[in-house]
Amino acid sequence: MLEACIASGAFERLSETASTLVNPEIRRWKEEGGRIVGYFCSAMPAEMITAAGLLPFRVRATGSTGTELSDSYFSSINCSFPRHAFNMALRGEYDFLDGLVIFNSCDHVRRVYDHWIRQMKTPFVQILSLPKKTEDAQVEWFRDELSILRERMQDHFGIDLTDARLREAIALHNRSRRRLKEIYNLRKGLRPPVTGAEMLAVTVAGTAMPQEPYSSLLSDLLADLAGKEGRADYRARLMIIGGLLDNPEYVSIIENQGGLIVADSLCFGSRTFWAEVDENTHDPLTALAQYYVADRPSCARMYTEYPRRVEYIRNMINEFRVDGVIFQRLAFCETWGFEQYSLTNDFKEWNIPLLCMDREYVLGGIGQLKTRVQAFLETLGR
């Protein structure tokens, strides 16, 4: 578990939730007869699962020790995240799931679906088509996909997924987004009371526990942080961007070299809560489709969105007074490979210091990581 600077019971509970796969919140929920629906990718409207009275759980491979079983289904040049996640599934570590939703978020994850429906006994599995563009036609397409999902969930789980329940869930998830943003904005100051690793633990926890207690814990954490000052002994203010990153330890190693992460553009980080789902739209499914396809800060898989993604990053750099940016991606991730090429050229032109790192899903190469971050901090003249 992450060594915390924050003296907060709320943070300890959130950090524990983020540091293990089957955490105490999950166990409690199952013991009380609750059902859990897992999902790959932040494009999943978790609000639909919450509205159904089920627990939304974003698939991670936290604690994975290898891919000895999934290597029979994936090649070594596939992204290590789906390989580790599917290996854990084959080992039975995802048997607590009552359902699973997968997207064509990338070809690597897409392949997980083909293997999962043949190898696993998860009672409910649904694949959804996620558009790659963000215009009205694509929003309508995704709304239709969500409508299919609603029908199938109602049939399988015997629940009534009404518009009223969807609106309630949207309001609840938005409340958490607002509280996360409040905590996040405390990092604009010169002595942020939260480190980057701690903030990632807080956001990851929100994908692995019921939203109601999560939202309350965020409120408690805000109270615990009120008026608190954090570290001033850092050498540079950094931002971390790129593909899937759900391991606070990785961020902690970077911060232990002297750079404080004060902002991010990650799909387990700020991209999940910087914008909100519109609560005034007549049709909640359309509101969800609009948000997850078009409104929220986008992933590199979304075509024509690069300028908006870069604008988001540059706004963060200015607002959080960032000195340098660390781009990280999982090896063999084409989606973020293309983005890295564009960012490298543009950041050079804009004279924004950028360090690009390829990595494996399971923490490794720590020595090299430390050396490269230290060298980067040197180049920032700190």
Determine the residue type at 372: R
Phi, psi of 151 (to 5 degrees): -55, -50
Under 8 Å between Cβ of 107 and 78: no
Q: Is residue 101 near ligand SF4 by the rule CB under 6 A?
A: no
Question: Residue 79 or 172: which CB sits closer to ligand SF4?
Answer: 79
Phi, psi of 37 (to 5 degrees): -115, 120
Q: Which two tokens stand for residue 152?
A: 């199938």
Name the minimum Å distance from CB 306 to ligand SF4: 16
* Interacting span for ligand SF4 (CB under 6 A) from 51-59, 162-170, 172-180, 330-338: 330-338
Name the minimum Å distance from CB 337 to ligand SF4: 9
Q: What Cα–Cα distance (Å) separates residue 365 from each residue in 210, 253, 369, 375?
A: 34, 11, 6, 16
Single residue of 11, 29, 57, 81 touching ligand SF4 by CB under 6 A: 81
Tokens 């750079």 locate to 259
* Interacting span for ligand SF4 (CB under 6 A) from 4-12, 102-110, 191-199, 345-353: 102-110
Question: Residue 218 or 300: which CB sits closer to ligand SF4?
Answer: 300
- Output the DSSP codes for 69-97: TGGGTS-TTS-HHHHHHHHHHHTTTTTT-
Q: Is residue 327 near ligand SF4 by the rule CB under 6 A?
A: no
Nearest to 271 by CA among 247, 303, 240: 240
* Interacting span for ligand SF4 (CB under 6 A) from 100-108, 124-132, 172-180, 343-351: 100-108
Q: Is residue 265 near ligand SF4 by the rule CB under 6 A?
A: no
Taking the C-alpha atoms of residue 96 and residue 103, their distance in angstroms, rounded to an integer, is: 20
Q: Which two tokens stand for residue 85?
A: 């996640």
Task: Count CA atoms closer than 13 A to 277's CA, side-chain side.
Answer: 30
Question: Residue 108 or 271: which CB sits closer to ligand SF4?
Answer: 108
Q: Which two tokens stand for residue 149?
A: 């999902």
Single residue of 38, 56, 82, 196 touching ligand SF4 by CB under 6 A: 82
Please state the length of the chain: 382
Question: Residue 109 or 277: which CB sits closer to ligand SF4?
Answer: 109
Q: Is residue 333 near ligand SF4 by the rule CB under 6 A?
A: yes
Residues 16, 18, 23, 29: is their CA dihedral positive or negative?
positive
* Interacting span for ligand SF4 (CB under 6 A) from 46-54, 74-82, 128-136, 344-352: 74-82
Single residue of 43, 221, 244, 263 touching ligand SF4 by CB under 6 A: 244
Q: Is residue 108 near ligand SF4 by the rule CB under 6 A?
A: yes
Q: What Cα–Cα distance (Å) separates residue 371 from each residue in 95, 258, 377?
A: 40, 12, 10
Determine the residue type at 199: M
Name the minimum Å distance from CB 213 to ligand SF4: 28
Q: What Cα–Cα distance (Å) separates residue 170 from each residue in 1, 122, 178, 281?
A: 31, 27, 12, 11
Binding mask 31-60 for ligand SF4 (x = CB under 6 A): ------------------------------
Question: Residue 41 or 48: which CB sits closer to ligand SF4?
Answer: 41
Q: Is residue 330 near ligand SF4 by the rule CB under 6 A?
A: yes
Single residue of 21, 55, 106, 354 touching ligand SF4 by CB under 6 A: 106
- The footprint of ligand SF4 (CB under 6 A) covers 79, 81-82, 105-106, 108-109, 243-244, 330, 333, 335-336
